[in-house]
Amino acid sequence: IEEGFRQARGILLELAALGLPTATEILDPIVPQYLADMISWASIGARTAASQVHRQMASGFSMPIGFKNSVGGDLGIAIEGIKAARNPHAFLGITHDGRTGIATTRGNQYGHLVLRGGVYGPNYQSEYVAYAEVLLKKSNIQNGIVVDCSHANCHKDFRRQPVVFGEVLQQVLEGNQSICGMMIESFLEEGCQPLKQPKTDLRYGVSITDPCLGWNDTAELIRRLAKEMKSRH
């Protein structure tokens, strides 16, 4: 873990030098103190969106934070998380010198919803986006919606991510004003592999967590997005 922190921060420093924005999912309340200054966008996952600790933590982030809908597909949990994170909080945290201290936050006004599907299926289609817009308006949340093209939205088949990507892009091209971003699970090589010991048995560039699109497919999607959005304007 210690070496992982060094490597992660080293990579983030290199990306910052390139001027490339970075994003990550915040899993626990300790890691952000080591990495958050290098992160441009962060998310709170489907399994932690209801966590008071994560909501308090999100209120102190200096970057926009996306709350994913629950694994069950409930949007209300994420919306309540966004509302909670908008307010100031005080809680126990880690100081810059690694000690336990009291953290006070001003609230994060840039919380937004991430649609990732649920146990009953995807929620990236236009009717689900419209429903999300209604709920957000009722809660006076004016920030955009990010669509996760993976997880339940692709029926957990990573190869379907380009299909979801294309359908969401079409909504934007047809005039949707709420969708402000899309997420894909991507790595150097497609697929995934179990974490093995010794590490020399691992295949380079293949995910050890969720299955991912390979780099070539990812680059193709990014080029397509750039071309379509350019033509839109």
Domain with CATH 3.20.20.70 in the chain: 21-143
Tokens of 154: 């692709």
Distance CA 117, CA 46 (A): 10
Find the mean pLDDT for residues 153-182. 98
Could you tell me which residue, 184 or 231, shows the higher pLDDT?
Answer: 184
Q: What is the pLDDT of residues 18-68, one digit of tens each?
A: 999 999 999 998 899 889 999 999 999 999 999 999 999 999 999 999 999
Angstrom distance (rounded) from CA 12 to CA 82: 26
pLDDT score at 209: 95
Q: At 233, is the pLDDT very low, low, confident or very high (cuts 50, 70, 90)? A: low
Q: Please state, in angstroms and rounded to a whole number, the distance separating the CA atoms of residues 186 and 232.
A: 26
Pick the CATH number of 21-143 from 3.20.20.70, 1.25.10.10, 1.10.10.10, 3.30.70.270: 3.20.20.70
What is the percent of the chain with per-residue pLDDT over 90, rounded to a whole number?
89
Query: Can you spell out the DSSP letters for 38-66?
Result: G-SEEEE-TTTTT-HHHHHHHTT-SS-EE
Q: What is the C-alpha to C-alpha distance for residues 34 and 75, in angstroms, rounded to an integer?
A: 30
CB 88 within 8 Å of CB 106:
yes
- pLDDT, mean over the chain: 96
pTM: 0.94
